[in-house]
A and B are shown apart, each in its own frame.
Chain A
Amino acid sequence: MEVQSNDERSFRLVYEEVFPILMRVVYHVTGNVDLSEEICQEAFIRFFDKQMSFPSLNDAKYWLIRVSKNLAINHVKRRSREMSMVEKLKKAPSPHANTTDGEKVLIEKETRKLVQEAIEELPEKFRMVIVLKEYSDMDYKQIAQVLNISESNVKVRVYRARKMLESILSQE
């Protein structure tokens, strides 16, 4: 099915299919829902405005993931440059509150925070690969295509990202 990016019908089809994947991927790179929404909107604006045609929905998806991934990484880089030491200290995990009500919710939030922070600690090339592997429903071959690297490179990076995550999370 050919996809014309500025055709309303095509656009809606792609949006329905790709937005959730894009949002999940960008969220796990940036760790912020509002920012992820902005980035996804920007990616879809570029998609629409460029008036491109794609041979298939998957090609449109790869293009959108590539663009939003770059937007997310640029943002994260800018943010880490801007973030002062004071803010970095503020970001450090706060001591557990002694709540009993909604303790489960709290634990879930803490778990997510720990895992998300571990992902954000990974060097960019490992972070991107593991996020795509875990949150985009793509296989090694597709990830390789999106990132423009070889399949065996994807395989190695996925493994090394896992080793790093194990090591970060075991310190908690």
Chain B
Amino acid sequence: MCVDDELLSTYLDGELDEPWKTQVSEHLQYCLACRLRLGQLKALHERLQSVALTTEEMAQSKDRVLAFFEETKFPTADQKRSFWRRKIEMKVAPAILTAAAFVIVVIGSFVFFSPNTPQGQEILPGVVAPIDSEHIRQVTDVSKPNLGMFSLEQIIQHLDSLGYSVKIEMKAVTPIE
């Protein structure tokens, strides 16, 4: 007796359980008709595979959809920074009000300026300070009289309004006698 057509389809998918699997295998060895029928089912399977959408054909779609998520759903470096900044500002404010603080203001590394250039003047008006490095300004509100005119919050707001990326790092909060 020949193998049921549906069993051959299941056999082709490797989904036939024992003992039927072995029985079908043995039958196929001596039955040409069943081998031919299995060949037809296999040919259909291969024809379907041959038209499958390829990795190359979907490459653009894959990039575009991922780009959509990168633009709209994942937090960008900028968003992370501003979140961090907001958190720090809230902590800084009371310290500034109560005691003089030693604060390092780090201007985003893409901004290169000296306080004496017009851009520097725009960012830190009236500040004439020795510069330790291109990106780090030391600011204490007692030793730099001109800067003392501004609170740290005002400076940050000012820089912010000019569109600069600003990081505030509290190295230490030391009351100054």
Contact = CB atoms under 8 A, between A and B. Distances in A.
Interface in A147-165: 155-156, 158-159, 162-163, 165
B83 interface: no
Interface residues of B, number: 30
Given A44-B69, A134-B48, A158 B13 contact: yes
Nearest to A151: B15
A165 B146 CA distance: 84
Nearest to B72: A45
A33 B61 contact: yes
Interface in A18-69: 19-20, 23-24, 27-28, 33, 36-37, 40-41, 44-45, 48
Contact of B69 (A11, A28, A33, A155): A11
Interface stretch (B24-32, B39-47, B98-106, B112-120): B39-47
B44 A165 contact: yes
A44 B74 CA distance: 13
A159 B51 CA distance: 20
B81 interface: no
B131 interface: no
Interface string B25-66: 000000000000000110011011111110101100110111
A140 B53 contact: no
A8 B74 contact: yes
Given A8-B74, A20-B55, A115-B47, A159 B64 contact: no
A153 B15 CA distance: 13
B68 interface: yes
A40 B75 CA distance: 21
Interface residues of A, number: 38
B49 A36 contact: no
A36 B5 contact: no
B68 A162 contact: no
Contact of A48 (B40, B41, B62, B73): B73
Nearest to A160: B6
A53 to B, nearest CB: 17
Nearest to A156: B6
Contact of B6 (A11, A37, A155, A165): A155
Contact of B58 (A23, A133, A140, A166): A23
Contacts of A140: 13, 15
Contacts of A28: 52-53
A127 to B, nearest CB: 12
Interface of A: 6, 8, 11, 15, 19-20, 23-24, 27-28, 33, 36-37, 40-41, 44-45, 48, 111-112, 115-116, 119, 130, 133-135, 139-140, 155-156, 158-159, 162-163, 165-166, 169
Closest 3 CB pairs of A and B: A37-B61, A112-B51, A159-B9
